[in-house]
Structure 1
Amino acid sequence: MTDAWPDIPYGPWKESCATLHLWTQIVGKYRLARTPWVNHSWHATFYVTSRGLTTSLIPAGSRGLQFDFDFIDHSLIGTVTDGSRRAFALQPMSVADFYKRFGELTDELGVTTKINGRPNEVPDAVPFAMDTMHGSYDADAVNRFWRALVQVDRVLKYFRTGFLGKVSPVHLFWGSFDLAVTRFSGRRAPLHPGGIPGLPDPVTREAYSHEVSSAGFWPGGGPVDYPAFYSYAYPAPNGFSSQRVTPDEAFFDEKAGEFLLPYSVVKSASDPDQSLLGFLETTYEAAARLANWDRAALECPRGQIDVPRPL
């Protein structure tokens, strides 16, 4: 057990989590509105930083701009390559107020962009400008969530090094509010049926255009009211749900259609990194083996620091 993995029970910060999720959607939609489409919506995501989350550099004509959520000093910061900088404090405020302040911030930076004003992938979505229901912000809980993301980001990146095939960055999807990494077999997948609430079918179908084994972490919500790691395959091969994976506390959730591992199991393990890596490796191996991926061509030993990958 290690203090590096903070305690982040979902219940006490449920309302703040919902608010933060919607705030990230507003900023994420700005990046989406200014960035050419990249396969599987990789152009729209956030990345974990030493202080929170970032959009990374967004094109703005001949300039570039970036938005950063700072979960240490609790502010949203906008910077432009011409040296301009604006920020406002993250504190209890409604989604409608955040939406207004973000618009004012982009006006002040001279980079105003119209975004889609309705949330995605959330039940009973209310337009941002009208949402006065969500307004909680527990700064301590948000900081602990970010510190958990720092640990998860590190392990997912290490896991990512063991694959030669196409693999996504480790990134946070603001629609589903999960930190994820995805491996690809290289083969086309059957057309996804779509139907994900709050997500246009063309986006879903492009995201799942090729066979995947995907894993990640989310803080809780919906049918899973605790922070958890997940792993799934699309399309799921026959027998996937009955495979034995590690650690023993991991299980297949029939409703979610994926393997789950409670965050608390990893946090309390004698070696959290190895506990999580075991889950990532065994769930991936189950998917790749049952779907007959060309594993000899796709896999490699995990990377080592300052050691070139052997040929």
Structure 2
Amino acid sequence: MSWPALDYPKWKDTGDSLHMWAQIVGKFRLAHTPWVNHSWHATLYADAQGLTTGLVPGGYEVRFNFVSHQLQVLSVNGDSAAFDLRPMSVAAFDTEFKAALGQVGAPTDYHHFPNEVPDPIPFHQQTAMGSYDPVAAHDWWRAIAAMAPVFQKFRTGFLGKVSPVHLFWGSFDLAVTRFSGRPAPLHPGGFPALPDAVTQEAYSHEVSSAGFWAGGNGAEEAMFYNYAYPVPDGFADAPAGPEGAYFDKDLGEFLLPYRVVATADDPAATLIAFLQATYDAAADSASWDRAALDCAIGEKRVPRSL
């Protein structure tokens, strides 16, 4: 699969709409799924046509289809409903989503305030017209579809606890997180519109977390990242991997511009090099038990040796 070019200025307005729309869909999953450690029960996943909730208890699935540009609601009883993704307000999306849920018999209750944004406004009060550029949305999804298998491959090189490859709708980033197994200091919290208890449970143990976001928050282009919590001494001074990668002191993370990966002769190898180098930085600086936690990247049809 080719890696599309991503233009943050052209994406931004569509991205702002999708961020809020994804929060609405994610909150439906959150409201009807038992809590899983580190909020893994609330996320979205890349699939062959867009982003999906997977199967929500009760027998429902919601998908952003970036091929047909529809929001689809499916039920295991065979019912389905959909509406077009198009320029619309957050309030209008919320209304149409609830109607689609009702058409398949799904519950329509969920929390109606966004998370991880300053000064959150209830979805039904966000009546300003939003943007939706189908080309920008499709390119963003194709980029995620190209990188997700690379994150999955990187995930196989670890024997310890590791998250799925999933998209957090609050921060609107694709992520995969490795855990040392050791408890971490209590996180101070402080994220906007996010209960500290959620943050503290998410960071209850030492992590090395890698991912991708499409720009904003101090980086006005699409970026891959890696951060550690707690931040160990020497982390920022470690090698960042491929040319173009660097440590951003303001964000406290290693960054690699998406364009460096997308235009590389071997994008997957370039991304793996960044993920491995920055994980090495976290694990070595914090003295993780790498002999017990690390392993070779998985091979097809080859079980792990005992």
Question: Contact 1:167/1:184 (CA < 8 Å) preserved in 2?
Answer: yes
Query: Whole-Å Cα distance in 1 between the matches of residues 30 and 107 of structure 2?
Result: 14
- State the match for 2:9 in structure 1: 11
Query: Whole-Å Cα distance in 2 between the matches of residues 110 and 271 of structure 1?
Result: 46
Structure 1 residue 236: Cα displacement: 0.7
Q: Which region of structure 1 is more displaced relative to structure 2, 170-179 or 111-120?
A: 111-120
Structure 1 residue 125: Cα displacement: 2.3
Cα deviation, 1:132-167, whole Å, max 9, x if unaligned, reads 235100001100000000111010000000000000
Pairs within 5 Å for 1:251-262: 251-262=246-257
Query: Whole-Å Cα distance in 2 between the matches of residues 129 and 123 of structure 1?
Result: 17
Query: Whole-Å Cα distance in 1 between the matches of residues 125 and 113 of structure 2?
Result: 10
- State the match for 2:241 in structure 1: 246
- State the match for 2:258 in structure 1: 263
The one-letter amino acid of 2:36's match is V
- State the match for 1:235 in structure 2: 230
Cα deviation, 1:250-298, whole Å, max 9, x if unaligned, reads 1111111111100011111111111111110010011101111110000
RMSD across aligned positions (CA): 1.0
Q: Does 1:124 align with 2:122?
A: no
Count residues in correspondence: 306
The one-letter amino acid of 2:24's match is I
Taking every aligned residue pair, what percent have the same amino acid on both sides? 57
Pairs within 5 Å for 1:77-226: 77-133=72-128, 135-226=130-221
Matched residue SS, 1:231: strand
Structure 1 residue 307: Cα displacement: 1.5
Matched residue SS, 1:69: strand
Cα deviation, 1:201-221, whole Å, max 9, x if unaligned, reads 000000000000000001111
- State the match for 1:56 in structure 2: 54
Q: Are the structure 2 counterparts of residues 114 and 240 from structure 1 closer, same or farther at C-alpha, using a change threshold of 3 Å?
A: same
The one-letter amino acid of 2:112's match is G
Matched residue SS, 1:206: helix
Query: Whole-Å Cα distance in 1 between the matches of residues 129 and 118 of structure 2?
Result: 13
Matched residue SS, 1:97: helix
Query: Whole-Å Cα distance in 2 between the matches of residues 94 and 175 of structure 1?
Result: 18
Cα deviation, 1:28-79, whole Å, max 9, x if unaligned, reads 000000000000000000000000000000112xxx1100110000001111
Q: 2:18 aligns with which of 20, 27, 41?
A: 20
The one-letter amino acid of 2:6's match is I
Query: Whole-Å Cα distance in 1 between the matches of residues 225 and 129 of structure 2?
Result: 27
- State the match for 1:274 in structure 2: 269
| Runs of at least 5 residues in structure 1 that lack an aligned partner in the other structure | none
Question: Contact 1:195/1:201 (CA < 8 Å) preserved in 2?
Answer: yes
| Runs of at least 5 residues in structure 2 that lack an aligned partner in the other structure | none
Query: Whole-Å Cα distance in 1 between the matches of residues 260 and 95 of structure 2?
Result: 40
Question: Contact 1:19/1:134 (CA < 8 Å) preserved in 2?
Answer: no
Query: Whole-Å Cα distance in 2 between the matches of residues 228 and 133 of structure 1?
Result: 28
Question: Contact 1:15/1:134 (CA < 8 Å) preserved in 2?
Answer: no
Q: Which region of structure 1 is more displaced relative to structure 2, 127-136 or 140-149?
A: 127-136
The one-letter amino acid of 1:48's match is A
Cα deviation, 1:102-128, whole Å, max 9, x if unaligned, reads 111111122123111111112332211
Cα deviation, 1:74-99, whole Å, max 9, x if unaligned, reads 00111111111111111111111000
Q: Are the structure 2 counterparts of residues 175 and 307 from structure 1 closer, same or farther at C-alpha, using a change threshold of 3 Å?
A: same
Structure 1 residue 248: Cα displacement: 2.4
Matched residue SS, 2:175: strand
Moved over 4 A (4+): none
Matched residue SS, 1:58: coil
Question: Contact 2:166/2:176 (CA < 8 Å) preserved in 1?
Answer: yes
Q: TM-score, normalised by structure 2?
A: 0.98
Query: Whole-Å Cα distance in 2 between the matches of residues 70 and 225 of structure 1?
Result: 26
Query: Whole-Å Cα distance in 1 between the matches of residues 175 and 110 of structure 2?
Result: 24
Q: TM-score, normalised by structure 1?
A: 0.97
Query: Whole-Å Cα distance in 1 between the matches of residues 127 and 216 of structure 2?
Result: 20
Question: Contact 1:184/1:213 (CA < 8 Å) preserved in 2?
Answer: yes
